[in-house]
């Protein structure tokens, strides 16, 4: 295992992981996932929130097995390479809020950073203002880091706590396979616990085992290579370290080539799958998401991989993302193909204000340790 492990932790690891995501995502679209949404952590978390009945947008309800696969793939790598390290206690409530507003920003744009790059690799030029917004949000986060921002230190926690997110992932897979029905209301409609879209993006999905296998592989690789689509830009600017950035370039290039090979590459602004053309809010939504991800230490994919390693703070961020996805639909904040929702822009401004307070006030206490 020494050689593949060293390869994955070298500069080639990020490139390999990016390329694998760039190839597998369009393949998953070919197998049934929604357009330019082969893997999207924000969209899929939103679908999971809908499938659990946390929001009632009937078109986006499915227990995406990819979310569970990313966590369990990372867990497998962490256990195999002895990096499973349960920990937590670094400002969990602030991380929950960052996850919540990151979801709202991402759903105003319509995608997490991975999907922004996958949309670019599919010819959706609306991704460009989104990616510029993401970079601007990362830039704001870097300004906070340079002023001394810190969410404080985590500490080791009991081993059992590290298995909570993997257990939740297994629970989601069980609900997906068993699709239990616990009761009906007076009108005879199912009360849950799970709901699946009959039409719309939630009804579009690759076969379970293909989606699971692809996401387990991505989770395994990404745990080893530390792949992070936000850290890629952050480290390039802050640390002059381009290792992860090459992974992003590989992702976009691989997605464009694979989409081209599959006949899925369609260049333009109008009529793109699950996207809108409101440039300002494609930009603005991702400024919010980029800032929230940077303050929380990584993109939503990275937060899932860290949860699989036992990082309870990343897990709390991911649960904040789940809650934010539900809020985004219940409060009419999430955009649709028609454009931004009535309260989306205001929620982005509120989110920026909350993130600014967190970014400007959280410091490691002087004299700690």
Partner 1 sequence: MSALIDARGLSCPEPAMNARKAMLAAGGGTIQILLDSVASRENVARAAAHLGWQAAVKDLPGGEFRMTLTK
Residue 90 interacting with partner 1 (CB under 8 A): yes
Closest contact distance (angstroms) between CB of 85 and partner 1 is: 6
Cβ-based nearer residue to partner 1, 195 or 293: 293
Report if residue 201 touches partner 1, rule: CB under 8 A: no
Find the binding residues for partner 1 in span 169-198 (CB under 8 A).
none
Q: Judged by CB under 8 A, does residue 17 bind partner 1?
A: no
**C-beta of 25 vs 299, nearer to partner 1:** 299
Contact predicate 34/247, CB 8 Å: no
Find the binder of partner 1 among 17, 126, 154, 282 (CB under 8 A): 154
Give whichever of 41 and 118 is closer to partner 1, judged by the CB atom.
41
Instruction: Examine residue 124 and tell whether it contacts partner 1 (CB under 8 A).
Output: no
State which H helix or E strand residue 88 sits in: strand 87-88
17 versus 243: smaller Cβ distance to partner 1:
243
Q: Does 151 bind partner 1 (CB under 8 A)?
A: yes
Single out the residue of 3, 186, 209, 240 in contact with partner 1 (rule: CB under 8 A): 240
| DSSP reduced 3-state for 284 | helix
Kindly give, in sequence order, each residue whose CB lies less than 8 Å from that of residue 333, ignoring residues fewer than 6 positions away: 104, 107, 108, 327, 341, 343, 344, 347
Helix extents (H) in the chain: 2-9, 11-30, 41-51, 65-80, 92-109, 113-120, 127-146, 159-162, 164-178, 208-225, 231-238, 243-261, 279-296, 300-309, 312-330, 344-361
Dmax (CA) for the chain in angstroms is: 62
Report if residue 203 touches partner 1, rule: CB under 8 A: no
If one asks whether residue 150 binds partner 1 (CB under 8 A), the answer comes out as yes
Provide the token pair at 308: 């699989």
Q: Is 243 in the site for partner 1 (CB under 8 A)?
A: yes
Could you tell me which residues come within 8 angstroms of residue 72 by beta carbon, excluding any fewer than 6 positions away? 166, 169, 170, 216, 219, 308
Structure tokens at 320: 């904040």
Residue number with CB closer to partner 1 (34 or 298): 298
Looking at residues 341 to 360 of the shown chain, list those that interact with partner 1 (rule: CB under 8 A): none
**Does position 159 bind partner 1 by CB under 8 A?**
no
Stretch that binds partner 1, among 227-235, 248-256, 259-267, 270-278 (CB under 8 A): 227-235
Return the residues of window 257-316 that contact partner 1 according to CB under 8 A.
Answer: 297-298, 313
Q: Which of 278, 272, 286, 273 is nearest to 342 (CA)?
A: 278
Is 138 in contact with 233 (CB distance < 8 Å)? yes
Note the residues at the interface with partner 1 (CB under 8 A).
9, 83, 85, 87, 90, 145, 150-156, 226, 228, 231, 234-235, 238-241, 243, 297-298, 313, 364, 369
């Amino acid at each position: 295992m020494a050689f593949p492990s060293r390869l994955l932790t070298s500069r080639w690891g990020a490139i390999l992981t990016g390329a694998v995501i760039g190839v597998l995502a369009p393949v998953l679209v070919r197998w049934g996932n929604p357009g330019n949404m082969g893997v999207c952590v924000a969209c899929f978390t939103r679908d999971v929130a809908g499938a659990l009945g946390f929001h009632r947008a009937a078109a986006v309800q499915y227990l995406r097995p990819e979310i569970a696969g990313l966590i369990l793939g990372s867990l497998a790598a962490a256990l195999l390479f002895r990096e499973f390290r349960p920990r937590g206690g670094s400002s969990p409530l602030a991380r929950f809020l960052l996850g919540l507003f990151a979801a709202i920003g991402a759903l105003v744009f319509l995608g997490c950073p991975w999907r922004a790059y996958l949309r670019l690799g599919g010819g959706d030029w609306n991704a460009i203002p989104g990616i510029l917004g993401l970079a601007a949000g990362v830039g704001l986060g870097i300004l906070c880091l340079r002023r001394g921002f810190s969410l404080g230190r985590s500490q080791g926690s009991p081993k059992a706590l590290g298995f909570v997110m993997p257990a939740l992932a297994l629970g989601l897979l069980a609900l997906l396979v068993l699709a239990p029905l616990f009761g009906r209301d007076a009108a005879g409609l199912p009360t849950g616990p799970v709901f699946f879209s009959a039409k719309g993006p939630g009804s579009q999905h690759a076969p379970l085992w293909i989606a699971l296998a692809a996401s387990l592989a991505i989770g395994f690789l990404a745990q080893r290579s530390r792949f992070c689509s936000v850290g890629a830009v952050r480290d390039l600017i802050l640390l002059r370290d381009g290792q992860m950035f090459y992974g992003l370039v590989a992702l976009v290039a691989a997605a464009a080539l694979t989409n081209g090979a599959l006949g899925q590459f369609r260049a333009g602004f109008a009529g793109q799958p699950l996207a809108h053309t409101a440039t300002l809010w494609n930009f603005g939504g991702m400024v919010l998401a980029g800032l929230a991800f940077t303050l929380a230490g990584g993109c939503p994919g990275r937060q899932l991989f860290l949860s699989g390693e036992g990082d309870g703070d990343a897990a709390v961020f991911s649960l904040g993302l789940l809650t934010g996805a539900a809020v985004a639909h219940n409060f009419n904040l999430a955009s649709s193909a028609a454009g931004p929702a009535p309260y989306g822009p205001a929620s982005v401004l509120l989110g920026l204000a909350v993130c600014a307070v967190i970014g400007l006030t959280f410091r490691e206490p002087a004299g700690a340790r």
